[in-house]
Amino acid sequence: MLPLKEKDRVRILSAVARKGPSYQTIRIVVINISLAILLFIPLSGTVRVDIWRGHHLLFGEPADLAKALGGFIISMAILYGLTFLSNMIVGRFFCGWGCPVGFVSRLGEEVDVKGKKGRSKRVISHLAGAGFVATFVAAVMLWWVDPRVLIEGSMKARIITLSVFAILWLGGYLHAFRWRFGFCRTVCPIGLYYRYVTSQAPIGIVFSEVPDPCIECGACETICPVNLDPKHLGEFTGAPQDDPDAEPDRYGDAECLRCGDCIEACRMVFKAKPDVVPPLRFGHPENKKSGDEDDAAEPAETEPLRPPTAVS
C-alpha cells in the first residue's frame, strides 16, 4: 500500500500528464546522460575492480587491487564533486533531474499514471521501469565485476552474479512501487548531506503573485515529492539567536529538488486561462515577490479554479 502522500501526488501527476508535454522529456535526457557516464567508466576499462578473478583495470590497463580501488574512490569523488558544485548554483538539481534512484521512483509513478489509460499502457510502463532498473543495476555491478563472468565464469560464479543482480533489481522495483520519494525524504545519504551543507542557491523556485494571484488550490504542495510548500520557498525563517552574524535560514531552499513538479502543477491549474501568469516559476529567489509587498500590483480578477481534490 502506498502512503497517502504518494497517492495524492499521483493524482496531481495524472492531471499534469493530461496537460501535454512536461519536464519529464528533458528529465529522461538528463537521466540517460547520468546512466551513460555510469556505464562508460567500467565498460571502457577506465576503472574496474574485478572481484571475480582479480583482473582489475585502471585507464584501460591491468592494475593491482590498491590502484583500482584508488581509481574507484577518485571517480566517485569527482562525480560527487560535480554534483556538489551544481548544488551551489541550482541546489539539489541533481536529485530532481539526474539521480537514477529518484528516476526509478518516477517510473513507478508513471505506471500508476499511465495505468489509468488502460492495461496495455500500464504493461508498457512496467516494462520500461523494469528495463531501466535492470540497466541501472547492471551499470553499478559493472564497476565490480567483469561481465565475462556470465560466459567464462564457473557455475558458482554465474549463479552468485545473477543472484546479486536479481536481488538488486528486485530492491529497485520495490523502491519504485513501495518507497518512492520516501527514500529521498528520509534515507538517501547524499540528499541528506546536501540538505545540511548548502542553502541559498542562486537558482530556485520563485513564487510571485504579480501580475496574477495564487488561488490557494494546494496542487503545488500536494505534488511536491519532499513535502514542501513551494509558495514559501526561500523565505527567511529568522537569524539564529546565538549567532547574529550567521546567515538566516531560508525555508525549504536546501531541501527543494528543483524538480519543477510544483511549477507544472501550477500551470495545469491555470491551463484553462492562458492569459493568467501562474505564480510559480524557476528563477532567482531574490526576485521573489508576494502579494503583501508594497510594490505588488493589484491582483487580476481570477475565477476560482478546481481545488486539487477535484483534479483526478
187-193: long-range pairs with CB below 8 Å, 24+: 188/95, 188/101, 190/80, 190/83, 190/95, 190/99, 191/92, 191/95
CA distances from 281 to 108, 209, 230, 234 (A): 26, 11, 10, 13
> Using CB under 6 A as the criterion, what x/- string covers residues 170-209 for binding ligand SF4?
-----------------------------------x----
Identified binder of ligand SF4 from the candidate list 41, 49, 219, 311, rule CB under 6 A: 219
Identified binder of ligand SF4 from the candidate list 113, 269, 276, 311, rule CB under 6 A: 269
> Using CB under 6 A as the criterion, what x/- string covers residues 288-307 for binding ligand SF4?
--------------------
Span from 47-55, 141-149, 164-172, 276-284 in contact with ligand SF4 (CB under 6 A)? 276-284
Identified binder of ligand SF4 from the candidate list 110, 112, 146, 261, rule CB under 6 A: 261
Span from 76-84, 116-124, 183-191, 226-234 in contact with ligand SF4 (CB under 6 A)? 226-234
Sheet order of strands, 47-48 included: 47-48, 57-58, 61-62
Q: Contact between 231 and ligand SF4 (CB under 6 A)?
A: yes
Q: Contact between 260 and ligand SF4 (CB under 6 A)?
A: yes
Residues 6+ apart with CB under 8 A from 299: 209, 211, 212, 213, 291
Residues 6+ apart with CB under 8 A from 271: 19
- In degrees and rounded to multiples of 5, residue 214 shows phi and psi of -70, 140
Q: How many helices (H) and strands (E) does the chain have?
A: 12, 5
Q: Work out the angle between the directed axes of helices 119-142 and 24-43 (0-180°, nearest 10).
A: 30
Span from 16-24, 44-52, 82-90, 217-225 in contact with ligand SF4 (CB under 6 A)? 217-225
d(CA 27, CA 99) in angstroms, rounded, equals 10
d(CA 194, CA 125) in angstroms, rounded, equals 31
Identified binder of ligand SF4 from the candidate list 262, 276, 288, 311, rule CB under 6 A: 262
Q: Contact between 230 and ligand SF4 (CB under 6 A)?
A: yes
Q: Is 234 left (phi over 0), alpha (psi -120 to 50) or beta?
A: left
Identified binder of ligand SF4 from the candidate list 71, 108, 172, 279, rule CB under 6 A: 279
Q: Contact between 71 and ligand SF4 (CB under 6 A)?
A: no
Identified binder of ligand SF4 from the candidate list 107, 257, 276, 311, rule CB under 6 A: 257
Q: Say how many residues touch ligand SF4, by CB under 6 A.
A: 30
Span from 55-63, 102-110, 169-177, 252-260 in contact with ligand SF4 (CB under 6 A)? 252-260
Residues 6+ apart with CB under 8 A from 58: 46, 47, 67, 68, 70, 71
Site for ligand SF4, rule CB under 6 A: 96, 205, 214-220, 223-226, 228, 230-231, 233, 256-262, 265-266, 269, 278-280
